[in-house]
Amino acid sequence: MLKNRGPIFLTGLTAILSGMFLYLFYGIPESHTGSSQPIPFSHRVHAGVKAIACEFCHPYVRRSVHPGIPPVEKCLYCHNYIIAGHPWIQKEHDYYNSGMPIPWKKVFYIPEHVVFNHERHIKKEVECRACHGRVETMDRLLRKRFKMGFCIECHKDKQVNIDCWLACHN
Ligand code: HEC
Ligand code: HEC
Ligand code: HEC
Ligand code: HEC
């Protein structure tokens, strides 16, 4: 009996470790790392922990084709006071002083011939997460290229005009 303890312990340990690996690998896909950005801005910290409203930073999402990405002035509105000495905040000042916008990498794409407008969706209370995932849990947003099937599935579900494919393609 006692002789088997070692192997049994090792087998158990291996099982637990591979279970953990599989969980981390497949279980929580939204924690996979997204594209790196010029400043490691975190939606988890801002929209999650600090609960800043999406529309504070993306104010035009209800009324324009472009939701808006906040200019560095808006970051400094808080960061002139909050963790002002942090090296990444110093980098914000460098961008501000040079007059160069922060070159954020775009992460969500739709095929070029598709016309997409947020307005209609937000007015019908389709949540941000239905398309963008749980942004408030992510440090870096995951790259995603929307496919037609994804759009059509929900439109069928909600019985929205499927003629959309006449309305969407220009
Ligand atoms: C409404 C206020 C507010 C705005 C606007 C804001 N931040 Fe922050 N930011 C915070 C707070 C609060 C923290 C957490 C500070 C702490 O950890 O004590 C933070 C933390 C950070 C950090 C440190 C991140 C970390 O992992 O701890 C960075 C980098 C940062 N912000 C960048 C930005 C950038 C870039 C912008 C503009 C796109 C921005 N912030 C806009 C409030 C704001
Ligand atoms: C403090 C400001 C701030 C808040 C609050 C915020 N965002 Fe952002 N958002 C940014 C910045 C800066 C970027 C560009 C950098 C990046 O992609 O991480 C961005 C990028 C995005 C993008 C990707 C756009 C692209 O490049 O394709 C989406 C989608 C998005 N935000 C959705 C949301 C949603 C949904 C919420 C609320 C749950 C939210 N954001 C809250 C500042 C903010
Ligand atoms: C029905 C799906 C859908 C919903 C709901 C949705 N989005 Fe988007 N969003 C998209 C698509 C598709 C794109 C890419 C559009 C493009 O490339 O022109 C996008 C792009 C963005 C961008 C980047 C814009 C840019 O200029 O690069 C931001 C920011 C954003 N969304 C924020 C939000 C916020 C905030 C909400 C909730 C209030 C939201 N979205 C809800 C589908 C959606
Ligand atoms: C989670 C559900 C959902 C997803 C995903 C979704 N939509 Fe929609 N869409 C809606 C709803 C609901 C409406 C109806 C809005 C209304 O009645 O005004 C709508 C309306 C539209 C319209 C206007 C249709 C018309 O009758 O003129 C267009 C265009 C459109 N969506 C394009 C897209 C594209 C492109 C995508 C994929 C990137 C997409 N949608 C993804 C729910 C969705």
Tens-digit pLDDT profile for residues 80-115: 999 999 999 999 999 999 999 999 999 998 888 888
AA letter at 33? T
Overall pTM surpassing 0.85 (yes/no): yes
- What does the alpha-carbon distance between residue 51 and residue 42 come to, in Å, rounded to a whole number? 12
Note the pLDDT tens digit of each residue in 144-168.
Answer: 899 888 988 999 888 887 665 555 5
User: What are 1's two structure tokens?
Assistant: 């009996």
Q: What is the pLDDT of residues 33-82, one digit of tens each?
A: 677 899 999 999 999 999 999 999 999 998 888 899 999 999 999 999 99
Ligand at shortest distance from the CA of 49: 1
User: Distance (Å, rounded) from C-alpha 102 to C-alpha 152?
Assistant: 34
**Cβ–Cβ under 8 Å, residues 62 and 122:** yes
Determine if ligand 4 sits within 6 Å of the CB of residue 152.
Answer: no
Ligand 4 pocket, residue 158 CB under 6 Å: yes
Residue of 114, 128, 164 to mutate, ligand 3, most atoms within 8 A of C-beta: 128
Shortest-distance ligand to the CA of residue 81: 1
| Ligand 2 nearest atom to the CA of residue 136, by list position | 38
Best of 35, 131, 164 for a ligand 3 pocket test (most atoms within 8 Å of beta carbon) = 131
Q: Is 108 in the pocket of ligand 4 (CB under 6 A)?
A: no
Q: What distance in Å separates the CA atoms of residue 127 and residue 121, rounded to the nearest whole number?
A: 8
Question: Ligand 1: distance of its center to the CA of 61 in Å?
Answer: 21
